[in-house]
A and B are shown apart, each in its own frame.
Chain A
């Protein structure tokens, strides 16, 4: 069994209650940290651990914290990004539903390090049933003295609240999330200034993903060195991988970074192989936004080395032959899957979720959806395939936020690796895989 940090106790009945979580050693990190560490020492510890942001971008968490502007007397804010919406990603829900106190403990540690008085958990509105679990857990933490005034007599006070979204993928982008938390449309802001300088209510703010924050109790309990001893290269620690699609055992797995992709897909401990004994065709390794790879390139790099589940190995070969670890949303497709139709569902998603601020994304995603629909229906032309690639190229890098790139990469990669299948649709004037 691989090293477990986040899912260690996940099967313990009643884990969502304060009592059970506490019995298993919960909130020890808060006790230890508030007594023995200054806020800056906590930041240093997180920096040293090598923990990266687990929402998708993979930016070093401690470094993000160190950018927080502490030079003014303005309030500061710590916000948890629980707007989990990237297709293929369903790991944060798992934590929120089954182990809410681990997230709350992480929120207390992060808030202490950053010196915030009020912190928020922004959770997507569809997950109201998880919000209710979180609010119950927050109440318990208050009643037991881990939230509120003068926590454990340390002099540090913190209030923690949940905030529901309204149904908008874009609010997973941190500046859109901040706008939304301020009660506005989720339109991303132009950066700079970064939220660490001008964030929520114009104040210095750090936004971190649920999984990132849930690692903090373990890091403070066991130390940065113990954390960075797990993993491989610059991919420290463990990662939650939410695996779905055509596999025998879809679900949420905590892996030590560096696990071979082949083992992840085929071993009984993880995905258990492809359903119905079918052949693996393609994988989207890190949520719908990252480039799709055909079987041969997800199992081995272009150089013929085994591909590993790590930030570096998945990116090996750049976008020509590689992809990204992203959010850990691992979507597996077998030989029966039409690459055009799969891409169409992704592009329809991005079209639906574009906030509409930037014309390349607003218009481009809709245009690409129409073309893909045409090709899938057997009414496309060879020129359409080039046009698709061209639109994707003109969206990428030309928008305020990364949603534009996220919409462009799946298109560019699907054409790069599966061009023949697009051409087949045009040649036979129908989907070769539809029944």
Chain B
């Protein structure tokens, strides 16, 4: 399901989870919760972090907005621009390359008509290249949300695309649930 509302505040249920995560760190060290909370925030905000969303996370953690911006811009899992409903991440590092990742990437490019970093016109799919996903024994590997798809083939890519299209796949789900 697609998140239709562009919320910049968590609902009560999510706040309970966030507060539970914050309590895992010592008093006064709530900044430690920044990465887990950003993962949740991104999932609840259509897969990307707007300045408003990051400001909200800063307010939850009692830290300056700049502290959130500098972290969000460092880690590759956070998108600072809008993305499609379903983000397909294709590993391109050595072991995946040895097993045909270029063919898999080219196939997604052709099927979707986009290049890495781009989103389809209907907003359904974004394509992204990523570095080693630590699943090299089953190369080539792609990631969609918190799912890994391993031993990829072009046929498997077609099957997945068909399935995702049919179910209007959204890769932005709360990773803790």
Q: Which residues of A contact B (CB under 8 A)?
A: 75, 84-90, 92-93, 118, 124-129, 131-132, 159, 161, 163-169, 180-186, 201, 242-246, 250-252, 284, 288, 329, 331, 333, 337, 341-342, 345-346, 348-349, 352-353, 355
- 22 A-B contact pairs sorted by A residue (CB < 8 Å): A85-B132, A86-B132, A92-B134, A125-B75, A126-B77, A128-B176, A163-B35, A164-B35, A165-B35, A166-B74, A166-B77, A167-B76, A167-B78, A183-B29, A244-B139, A250-B137, A250-B138, A251-B137, A346-B93, A349-B94, A349-B131, A352-B76
**B39 and A87 form a contact (CB under 8 A):** no
A344, B153: Cα distance in complex, Å? 23
Cβ-based interface call for B12 (8 A)? no
Given A88-B136, A244-B95, A252-B137; 10 other pairs, CB 8 A cutoff:
A88-B94, A88-B95, A93-B135, A125-B75, A126-B134, A129-B147, A165-B35, A166-B77, A244-B99, A353-B131
With both beta carbons as reference points, the residue of chain B lying nearest to A356 in the complex is identified as: B74
**B175 and A164 form a contact (CB under 8 A):** yes
With both beta carbons as reference points, the residue of chain A lying nearest to B132 in the complex is identified as: A87
Residues B61-119 near A (CB distance < 8 A): 61, 63, 67, 70-71, 74-78, 92-95, 97-99
Choose one: A126, A129, A182; the contact of B31 (CB below 8 Å): A182
**A128 and B32 form a contact (CB under 8 A):** no
**B137 and A182 form a contact (CB under 8 A):** no
**A166 and B71 form a contact (CB under 8 A):** yes
Choose one: B26, B74, B99; the contact of A201 (CB below 8 Å): B26
**B36 and A163 form a contact (CB under 8 A):** yes
**A129 and B148 form a contact (CB under 8 A):** yes
Band of interface residues on B:
35 or more
Most chain B CB atoms below 10 A, which of A125, A329, A341: A125
With both beta carbons as reference points, the residue of chain A lying nearest to B32 in the complex is identified as: A183
By a CB distance below 8 angstroms, the chain B residues around A124 are 134
Q: Label chain A's interface by main secondary structure.
A: mixed
Shortest CB-to-CB span from B36 to chain A, Å, is 6
**B135 and A90 form a contact (CB under 8 A):** yes
Cβ-based interface call for B155 (8 A)? no
By a CB distance below 8 angstroms, the chain A residues around B11 are none
Residues B16-32 near A (CB distance < 8 A): 24, 26, 29, 31-32
Cβ-based interface call for B133 (8 A)? yes
**B148 and A168 form a contact (CB under 8 A):** no
**A246 and B35 form a contact (CB under 8 A):** no
With both beta carbons as reference points, the residue of chain B lying nearest to A93 in the complex is identified as: B134
Choose one: B33, B134, B139; the contact of A85 (CB below 8 Å): B134
**A90 and B32 form a contact (CB under 8 A):** no
A250, B138: Cα distance in complex, Å? 7
By a CB distance below 8 angstroms, the chain A residues around B35 are 125, 163-166, 180, 183
A352, B74: Cα distance in complex, Å? 11
Cβ-based interface call for B8 (8 A)? no
By a CB distance below 8 angstroms, the chain A residues around B70 are 184-185
**A342 and B98 form a contact (CB under 8 A):** yes
